Amino acid sequence: MIFTPPAKGHAYRIVAVLCILMATAAGSAALNSARGADSSSDLHFGEAVAVSADNALVGSAYGADGKSAGLAYVFERAPDGWRQIARLSAMDGKRGDKFGSAAAIAEGTALIGAWGTDGVAPVSGSAFVFERGPNGWHQVAVLTNPDARERHLLGYSVALGARTAVVGAPGVNTKLWSDRTKTVPAWSGVVYIWSKDESGWQYQGRITPDSLDSPEKPAGQSGPYHLFENFGRTVALHDDLLVVSAHNGTIAPGKVYVFRRRNDTWKQEAELQQQQESFGIAIAVSARTIAVASSGLVFLYADASGSWNLQNTVEPRVAGEPSGFQYGGPVAIDGNLMVVGAARYRKRKGAVHIFERAGSSWNQVATITGEDTRSDSGNRAGDLFGGSVSISGGTVLVGASFHDSEGPNFGAAYVFRREGSQWIQTSKLVPPTERHGATKAQ
């Protein structure tokens, strides 16, 4: 099964729910506050980042005090730098929701994943849509899948187009595998699609791969063995092209599926696979290029009339020392530029490697680090700069969710721009704290 549109009953139920949410969410001051001071520890600001044109979205799944439902912050580029313009939170959020663990932004719309919410069933998950209006940013919809069950983890990944929202739910069980002692879930995961029309965000259907082959139990494994495909762990969207990873661990290779929308129907176009550990741990897509991260390597595929061919394989490198990419990391593409996060660089200080395409080749042109980021030291964890990355035009946004400048594990996000052949840090974004009481965007 590839794309399953909703039955009439499901479509009516979801539309009705979204209309109610849009009516009640508008005007809530808590959703549009650019003020409010946060605790100076355990915010983990920068766990998810997204940048689009002159707007940046930064997620903090642990919230203002490191223990709450989660927050997301919107920044806007101004002539004198970046300034925080909104502090977004879910209505009726609670501890453990993981709001802000995944984030996407495009054209005045923000999509934020919250895979820990219990809206339909325990940890069934959800995603929240915010839109910018004359009076700021407001929550306009909560997206939940009509077949939600416990631990579906909807919102673990998100992607956003002009009028399309894609939300991954890697915990949806689609097949059972049995041994002599126990039947356990296997080959799990679904991706759900919503689209926007005149009345709001409407549920469109679900996407699964063409085939779900039963996995084999590893040789020598005794007792029950849990096997998960995790389809939907990561999603990437560019216009009518959707890429979904099914990454099932740091040892076994995963798969990456390519779907294309034609006449409002999504059909699988390709299945990508390499015998490389962690294949599919992260993905990115542009108009005619797909990047797939794995342990130590990034595989680049080019579109040839719907046939996706391996064009290049690149290995992030740093002269004289490990690159920090031995277990893979996040990737992002925009045009001929690709950024690759390597949070394990120099004892988890972290780095980002930048590649540029010339013809069919991708050449590493820079390695960047935050000006004040640090490595593991005693009981202090490294900053994990490069744990999240995003790129738009000549702007690169990098999360460092364990950065300590405002307090232990407070987090930060760094903005870089290209100046000639150099990549220069232009801003460090952190939200206001109890100590500062004002947004810092240096």
Q: SS3 sequence, 29-95?
A: HHHCECCCCECCCCCCECCEEEEECCEEEEEECCCCCCCCCCEEEEEEEECCEEEEEEEECCCCCCC
Cα(273)–Cα(270) distance, rounded to whole angstroms?
10
CA distance 377 to 147: 46
Q: Note the pTM of the prediction, 2 decimals.
A: 0.87
Q: What is residue 11's DSSP assignment?
A: H
Mean pLDDT of 66-75: 88
Single out the residue of 154, 152, 133, 227 nearest to residue 185, CA to CA. Answer: 227
Query: For 248, left (φ over 0), alpha (ψ -120 to 50), or beta?
Result: alpha
Distance CA 38, CA 220 (A): 51
Read off the pLDDT of each residue in 114-134 and give the average, rounded to a whole number: 93
158 close to 164: Cβ distance less than 8 angstroms: no
CB atoms under 10 Å from CB of 275, counted, come to: 8
Asked whether the predicted pLDDT for residue 408 surpasses 50, the reply is: yes
Most confidently modeled of 65-79, 167-181, 380-394, 425-439? 380-394
What is the Cα–Cα distance from 380 to 335, expressed in whole angstroms?
Answer: 38
Residue count of the chain: 442
Q: Quote the CA–CA distance of 270 and 242 in Å, as a whole number.
A: 11
Under 8 Å CB-to-CB from 319, ≥6 apart: which residues?
none
Give the residue-averaged pLDDT of 257-270: 95
Residue 438: predicted pLDDT = 38
3-state secondary structure of 155: coil
Mean pLDDT of 18-30: 29
**d(C-alpha 44, C-alpha 152), whole Å:** 24
Q: Tell me: the pLDDT tens digits for 372-401? A: 999 999 888 899 999 999 999 999 999 999
Nearest to 301 by CA among 233, 362, 250: 362
pLDDT at 440: 41
> Can you tell me whether residue 10 is helix, strand or coil?
helix
pLDDT tens per residue across span 170-225: 988 755 555 555 555 555 789 999 999 999 999 999 999 886 555 555 566 555 44
User: Residue 432's pLDDT is what?
Assistant: 79
Residue predicted with more confidence, 206 or 251? 206
CATH annotation of 3-212+224-441: 2.130.10.130
286-300 pLDDT tens trace: 999 999 999 999 999
Could you tell me which of 186, 204, 206 has the C-alpha nearest to residue 196?
A: 204
The sign of the CA dihedral 347, 348, 351, 353 is positive
Q: Which of 119, 190, 111 is nearest to 150 (CA)?
A: 119
Dist CA 371 CA 394 (whole Å): 19
The rounded distance, in Å, linking the Cα atoms of 189 and 153 is: 9
Phi, psi for residue 370 in degrees, rounded to 5: -70, 145
The larger pLDDT score, comparing residue 98 to residue 253, is at 98
Mean pLDDT of 320-326: 97
Cα-Cα end-to-end distance for the chain: 49
Residue 296: what pLDDT? 97
pLDDT in tens, 219-247: 665 554 445 678 999 999 999 999 999 98
What pLDDT does 441 receive?
41
pLDDT band at 31 (very low <50, low <70, confident <90, very high): very low
